[in-house]
Structure formats: structure tokens, C-alpha cells
Structure 1
Amino acid sequence: MSPIKLAIVGLGKIARDQHLPSLAANPNYQLVAVASPNNKLEGTPSYPNIETMLREQPEIEAVSLCCTPQVRYEIANYALEQNKHVMLEKPPGATLNEVAGLMDLAQQRRLALFATWHSREAAAVEPARDWLVGRKIRKVQVTWKEDVRVWHPGQAWIWKAGGLGVFDPGINALSIITRILPQPLVLKDAELHVPSNCETPIAAELTLQGPGGLPVRAEFDFRQTGPQSWDIDIETDDGHLLLSKGGSVMHVDGKQTVSAPDREYANLYARFAPLVRERRMDVDLAAFRLVADAFMCGRRSVVDPFIE
């Protein structure tokens, strides 16, 4: 079977750190081009935009979009109109309605559309889901705190409307809990802390609830220094589960049961190939809906300006 001719749109930090190595290690793909307004990839044809790229290389079969969420819809819509399969970095768009439009177009054209959630591919996520089956969950605490200056240096887009602010990492935690918890969640309360010189929050606290009143508390903060915290703590009627390091490590009653190297993006590309070949969609918006609800219903407080 011939490799899928794929192009990357948006050659920033995440593309270089994660997408390029994952593609290089996967024989299902041939990276044939890059479209990025300010960056080029040595040894690979590089173009300033997707329109020029697809005009020059119409044989491209699929595109992986690593651009900022504010421009993702227009680029994805154009790719689908050109009959290209599309893989979306998270979040899949700036609004839910944008993603709904992409889903309609992909379905009409029988094209693959993959809304990726890389944290769901962390090593301990599926074992945690399996462990929770049959247990009564009493309480869930999410603590997702990191230093924005380390993980998003100079990325002004994250502070603009549509950039999500602290929900850019926070949605990773939400993608995990909406995968491992057996019940759907609804937002009950949200507090968003927005710097006086920004349009998106630097910190947030959410109270979520599942059927039967299951309490889920989530704390997100971009102002963390020192050790970073990416933890999900779950108390059940039959033991205590802790997911740490973004879902890559699992402890049950204090004993480590899972720990494995990062293969999140490698797993995403492994999943995308059959979607392309079978022309199927994989778009789960549960985490994105919770973030949208927080922006719609959350209280906003103004905090100190953010200085890079």
C-alpha cells in the first residue's frame, strides 16, 4: 500500500517537536510539503499558504493542521473543498459551530476529518478507563498547572480571543476525564481569571457534575513555577486512582501500575491513516463543549497584566 502523501500546515513549535518526528517514524506517510507563512523546512518544498501549496502539489492527499485555532477553520474548510483529508490539532477550531461546519462538509465529500486529543493517547488513560469500570466514583480533582513562559514562549495568539488561554493546556485534562469517566459531565460553575492586558484567562476553576451529583473540580493555572502539575485524582468506593504527568503515569492506592514513554502523537498518526484510507470521521467534542460552556457561563475577574 502506497504511503499517504501528507502536508503540514503551520510549522511552529508543536509541529517541529511532535508532528515531524512522528511522521518520520511512520511508514504510512510521506511528508511532501509544508505551508507556513514564516517558516520553511529544509529539504521539503515549503509554501507561504495552503492555497499555493495545493496548487503546486495537487497530488497531496491529506493535511495536518498545526496552525493557531483562530485561523484553523478557513484552512480546514479550504482543504476539504479541495478534497483533502484533514487532521486537526487541538482544539479543533475557535468555535463549536466552526467544527460542525467542517463535519458537514467532510461528510458530504466522504473525507476523513480527525479532531485530535493527544493527551487521550497518554499511556495510562485507557488503563484508567478500564480500572474505573464497575467502581462508584465519589470525587474527582483535576490539577493542571504549568508555566506559560516555558511551554508557550512568545506565543501571543494564546492571549487573543479564540486562543483559549489557560484552557489550551486545560482542555487536555478535560479530554482525559471525558474519556475515562463513565458519565457525561455538565458545567455547574466557572471562575475565569483574565489578565488586564489579555482577552483569555490565565487561570480558571471549574465545577463539573456527572449524573447522581458526582463532583468534579478542576483547577487550571498558567502561573505555575517550579514543578509542573498535570494530575487527575479520583476517589472511588474501591480504591484511589491517580493519573500524573499528563496521563502517562498511573497509581492505584499509592502503587505505580503504569508508566511509559511518550507516544501520544505517534498514536494519533497511527489512528489517522485508517481514517484516511476508509474515509471516516473521528470528531469528539465533549471536552471542547465544556470549555465553550465555561466561556459562556463563567464569571470573569481581572488580574494583574501578563508580562512575557
Structure 2
Amino acid sequence: MNTRLIYLLEDNQDDVYLVKELLSQQGGKHKYAINAFETIESLRDAIAQLNPEVILMDLNLPQSRGLETLLRVKDFAAHIPIIVLTGMSDEMFGEKAIQLGAQDYLPKHELSAHLLRRTIAFSKERFDMQRNLENLVSLDRLTMLSNRGALDKHLHTQVQDARRYGKQFAMLFIDLDNFKTINDELGHQAGDQLLKLLATKLKMYKRSSDFVARYGGDEFVVIAPNIDNPAQLELFTRYKHTLLADSYCLQDQQGNMHEVTLDLSIGAVLFPDHGDGPTALLNCADKTMYEAKAQSLPFLLAEATRHSA
């Protein structure tokens, strides 16, 4: 029998006991392991170590009340389905919770073992289905990296978070210098193969917090949190260039093997030093990449002057 890990955010010990008691009753194809937390901070710390399958949460805590609690939890747990447990039976309130990202809501006075197990199962299934559909829309079909639309969305969120918490992050804009030559001489099949090999390297050799996307054609973007000074940025950029500017074995249209050496240019920028908004930062990274290409440099760091959004 499978065991489902559930995190419960609840400061009322009677309600914690009730949920644990209901989910411990026999029935269904799953067992449940419930970890209870009294504060948002303790829940955040636990999720940083291990993700649960579902979060059950009360909205009224000593440090946060109502729908604001849901927003605070969603800020670090948007990748986990959330079910709101409420002492209110107001359907309008429940609809607002769902509009703000909860999968479902349950009035506490209506709780039963069957209803709670069924809601957990349906919420998890619905959430996973939504995520799979979003992934299909947000992936580049050739490289299976995030596409331009997903990049725009992630960059917007990254900028918002950086502003809120006073943090910096880095962005690399990568362009393949001799890709057209490879395409012309070996054919588009070889070009596609090279893009896939490059994407595989970008996915394999990245930190868990990094975001990698195909910007379009032979251009790629890397967003790297927790890089906050030029020395770190240069070290990170140099590593990426050394990793990618390598020899690759490709097949031409006749099936013959060719070893090609890839040349590329990288423009590297920091938020907010080189742009205090998504558009400004992306434009600066693109401009810096072209400056590196024009100067025949492997990479170039943008000058430390702020640009407006």
C-alpha cells in the first residue's frame, strides 16, 4: 500500500488530531503520513528539505489571517497542490481561495474520512494534470528546454521575488557563432542534433535553482539566482563557456560523421545593476552578447550601470 506524505499547517491541536484520526482510518488504497506545522516558517523549512504530495492548511494563524495566509504559502509552494481547511462554510470564500491557487476547500465541520481522502486524491490528480498541460505548452519541442513564453513568465516572477526580498540574480544570453555554417555544410539534421546536445549539457550541468530556456533559433538564456557580484558572475560565465564551447560529433544528411568545434558568445548581466525590469535586463544581456561577438570575445560582462525598465 502506497504512503502519501501530507503536510498540515494548523495551530489548533484539536484540528490536527481530527485530521490525523480521519486519515488513519482504514479504507482506500493509500496510507497517509501527516507532518503538522504551526507556523508558515516551519512549513517553508520542511518543504525546502522534502516536498509533500499535498498541503492541507488552515488560513487563520497567529501570524497571518485569511486569504493572505494562502498567498504567503503559495509564494514558496506553488509547485504543490493546496487544500484549504476552513471554519467557514461561505462558498464565496471558498471560490476566492480556488481563484488564488488552492485546488479545493473543505469546511471543517463537514470533514469525514471518505471526503478528506477523496479530496486529496482528486486535488493531486487535477494538479498533476494541469502541470503536465502547462509543461507541454511551455517546452521547446526540439530541445525540451523551456521556451520563450516560459522564459518571459519565469523572468517576471524572478524579478518580482528579487525586488521583494532585496536579492540579486544573474542572466546569461548565449549565442552560437558558427551554427549557420554547420547548418549549411552538414544540413539541418546536424544542426538540430547540435542544439539537442547543447540543451542536454545545459540541463545536466546546472544548479537546481537555475532556469534554462531556448530563446529562439541558436540562442539560449540561463537565469541564475544567488549570484550577486561581478566576480561570481565572471566565474559562472567562464564555466558555462568552457562547458559548451566544445567538440561535438554530428552526422550529415548522408549519415557521415563529422567532428565540429562549437564557438559561442555570452553576454552576462546582473539584476538590478544592468536592468531593473525584465525587458531592460534581457535587452542588456542581448546587447552585451553582441558586443562580445563583435570584439571576438568568448564572453563579456555588462558595464555596472543601471538601465531603466
Category of TM-score, reference length = shorter chain: 0.3 to 0.5
User: Which has the higher Rg, Structure 1 or Structure 2?
Assistant: 2
Query: Which fold has the larger relative contact order, with Cα–Cα distance below 8 Å and residues 6 or more apart in sequence?
Result: 1
Instruction: Give the structure with the higher percent strand.
Output: 1
